[in-house]
Amino acid sequence: MHEGNLCTNAYPCRSNNLCYHSFMPNRMLKMPSPFPSFVAFASQAAETCDYRLPPEEQALLAPRATPKRVREFTLGRAAAHLALQRLLAVEPGPFLQGERGEPLWPTGVVGAISHSHDLAVAAVARQTDCAGLGLDLQGPTTVDLRRIAHKICLPAELEWSEAYPGSTADTLKLIFSAKESVFKALSGERWSFHDLLLQPGTESHTLTGRLQRALPPHFPTDTEMTIGWRTEGTYLLTYLVLPLR
């Protein structure tokens, strides 16, 4: 899908610069579900996605949205449609967004979307099975979070991140992503990065989160949650299921 450095993909990664598709094999752009079976999960890669936004979803994009934003939004909606089809076994209609940018799921459904570069993931479940879902995908990036680590992390997190396996930059990315996942699972409640304390989990590839203040009406101070993570190729995925309360 590329000629030389020029991307000719339906969702070009960059119009006149180095093409991601040229160094990222397709197999890396597939993300298996990390969730239990009651959660429907889907991923969509730009290389293979042929989803076309219906007018209602197209209208959610700013008129001057960049090609990158159009591509990621489209992939996110494509993944969400596929996940909903899997959950409900019917073709879902277009779905819109709430005041804070959150996707408006059909009644009785909870879910989350994340996209990065050429990949998007979405997860949905019935409200009778869980209270919420969180997801965050971090793609290949050179952004080093160390300069803003104190904004993302509480002092205790900075401490354990130094000793955690892997580079500090990768651990900070993991902490950042896990907090974004929790933010989405809590349906975009107003809170800050310092309202959640993360610690390495007891099981491999998990973190344990504890709310540092109450988020009324459903989440008292000290509410605990488990956030999972996995890597696939150059992507990091964090995720969580909020149990029924």
Ligand X SMILES: CC(C)(COP(=O)(O)OP(=O)(O)OC[C@H]1O[C@@H](n2cnc3c(N)ncnc32)[C@H](O)[C@@H]1OP(=O)(O)O)[C@@H](O)C(=O)NCCC(=O)NCCS
Binding site for ligand X (CB under 6 A): 73, 76, 97, 100-103, 113-115, 136-137, 179-180, 183-184, 187-188, 191-193, 196
Residue 243: DSSP 8-state = P
Nearer to ligand X, 193 or 239 (CB): 193
Whether the CB-CB separation of 15 and 66 falls below 8 Å is answered with no
Nearer to ligand X, 91 or 99 (CB): 99
Nearer to ligand X, 190 or 204 (CB): 190
Whether the CB-CB separation of 19 and 6 falls below 8 Å is answered with yes
Q: Could you give the maximum distance between any two Cα atoms of the chain, in Å?
A: 55
Q: How far is CA 162 from CA 36, 152, 178, 209, 214, in A?
A: 31, 14, 17, 18, 28
Nearer to ligand X, 22 or 212 (CB): 212
Those residues whose C-beta lies under 8 Å from the C-beta of residue 26, and which sit 6 or more positions away, are 45, 47, 48
3-state secondary structure of 170: helix
In the complex, what is the shortest distance from the CB of residue 31 to ligand X, in angstroms, rounded to a whole number?
13
Closest CA to 15 of 53, 54, 71: 71
Question: What sign results for the dihedral spanned by CA atoms 29, 83, 51, 59?
Answer: negative
In the complex, what is the shortest distance from the CB of residue 136 to ligand X, in angstroms, rounded to a whole number?
5
In the complex, what is the shortest distance from the CB of residue 184 to ligand X, in angstroms, rounded to a whole number?
4
Nearer to ligand X, 27 or 100 (CB): 100
Q: Name the residue with tokens 């959950």.
A: 87
For ligand X, which residue has the nearest CB?
Answer: 188
Those residues whose C-beta lies under 8 Å from the C-beta of residue 218, and which sit 6 or more positions away, are 131, 245
In the complex, what is the shortest distance from the CB of residue 169 to ligand X, in angstroms, rounded to a whole number?
17
Q: How far is CA 92 from CA 11, 42, 75, 76, 217, in A?
A: 23, 14, 16, 14, 30
In the complex, what is the shortest distance from the CB of residue 162 to ligand X, in angstroms, rounded to a whole number?
21
In the complex, what is the shortest distance from the CB of residue 151 to ligand X, in angstroms, rounded to a whole number?
10
Nearer to ligand X, 6 or 10 (CB): 10
Nearer to ligand X, 48 or 141 (CB): 141
In the complex, what is the shortest distance from the CB of residue 5 to ligand X, in angstroms, rounded to a whole number?
26
